[in-house]
Amino acid sequence: MIPAEFDYEVASSVDQAVELLGSSDDAKLLAGGHSLIPLMRLRLARPTLLVDVGRLSDLSYIREDGDTIAIGALTRHHDVQHSDALKKSCGILAHTAGLVGDPQVRHRGTIGGSVAHGDPASDLPTVLLALDAEFVSKGPDGEKTTPASGFFTGLFETALGPRDVLTEIRVPKLGSSSGWSYQKFNRRAQDWAIVGVAAVLDKQNGSVGSARIGLTNMALTPMRASAAEQALAGAAPDSLGGADQAAEGTSPPSDTNASAEFRQHLARVLTRRAVEEALAR
Ligand code: FAD
């Protein structure tokens, strides 16, 4: 289908983007366009104004900053995947960016667009939730920083206001005692996840010290598997039964790919696999 009529402006700075967002009732930012344009073509989104931030090259960077790595919101999935800093100190993010869609999607789509879109089937928000990332945004009232735990508020909804521009994502550097894994279950390579599980562990003497586990496509938002996290704390590699609690509190969709029950089964199986891989890594 052809999108409904809209106006189009190119922003030359974040401040100008904030201003332009306030100039129309239903204005939307356009970054890589790989989520928004398909929705517009289906007329599920009908913005009156598109504010194109795709050329704000100063929002495309990956910088080490003490114990954290700062990633500009306009950084493409391809650049996240191939970043030496991320591969060395936050491997789960580089690895998972390489699992997003196909090469064309990864060369156009941005990490900020993926986060701001708020789709519970997206891979990177789940990983950022498990990493306890922080999201920096700028709006009419200035800059604010939101923890990942408070960012994803509903289906395609986030803590960003209608005039907020996400500018930066901050992730912690993972130390030598950390282990990680992202398990993406799909039927065909390059498809969206039917279920995904991100595990970030602090390891102690080969066992789980503490576990942070994120789930993709198991609720209206990406979510943490809190019961499994608690049950797995202190677990040895041969006693990972706590993974069986990964589906507690979930409310996954039923669709042509999988029933809700099958998704809950997958969450348990993938959590065990993720923890095993994270312990071995
Ligand atoms: P856009 O489409 O430009 O924007 C998406 C939304 O975010 C819009 O509402 C926009 O207004 C808002 N937005 C964008 N940037 C900002 C910002 N800086 N501040 C505030 N709001 C902003 N994703 C996966 O996770 N896994 C997959 O396997 C996967 N497969 C895909 C396969 C295909 C064929 C396609 C087309 C997409 C796929 N995606 C997948 C989605 C892809 O990752 C998108 O690129 C991403 O979700 C959105 O990024 P974008 O830069 O294209 O955002």
Same domain, 65 and 25: no
pLDDT-derived band at 74 (thresholds 50, 70, 90) equals very high
- For residues 96-116, give the mean pLDDT: 97
Range of the domain at 134: 57-172
What is the rounded CA–CA span in Å between residue 228 and residue 232? 6
Same domain, 161 and 189: no
pLDDT-derived band at 190 (thresholds 50, 70, 90) equals confident
Same domain, 67 and 164: yes
Last residue of a domain, one of 137, 172, 207: 172
Atom 37 of ligand 1, residue of closest alpha carbon: 34
Same domain, 134 and 45: no
Which residue out of 13, 21, 34, 49 has the highest number of ligand 1 atoms within 8 Å of its CB and is therefore the one to mutate? 34
CATH code where residue 72 lies: 3.30.465.10
Same domain, 114 and 164: yes
Do 117 and 31 meet the contact criterion of CB atoms below 8 Å apart? no
Atom 23 of ligand 1, residue of closest alpha carbon: 122
Atom of ligand 1 nearest to the CA of 124: 25
Q: Which helix (H) or strand (E) holds 211?
A: strand 207-216
Same domain, 276 and 195: yes
160 ligand 1 Cβ < 6 A: yes
Q: What is the pLDDT of residues 215-224, one digit of tens each?
A: 999 999 999 9
Same domain, 67 and 156: yes
CATH code where residue 194 lies: 3.30.390.50
Q: What is the pLDDT of residues 177-186, one digit of tens each?
A: 999 999 999 9
With respect to residue 2, please indicate whether it lies within any of the assigned structural domains. Answer: no
21 ligand 1 Cβ < 6 A: no
Q: What is the pLDDT of residues 165-175, one digit of tens each?
A: 999 999 999 99
How far from the centroid of its chain's Cα atoms is residue 281's Cα? 22
130 ligand 1 Cβ < 6 A: no
Same domain, 161 and 233: no
Atom of ligand 1 nearest to the CA of 29: 11
Same domain, 45 and 62: no
Quote the DSSP letter at residue 174: P
Q: Number of structural domains, the chain? A: 3
Look at residue 63 and give its three-state secondary structure: strand
52 contact partners, CB below 8 Å, separation of at least 6? 8, 9, 10, 11, 29, 30
Same domain, 160 and 216: no
Same domain, 44 and 74: no
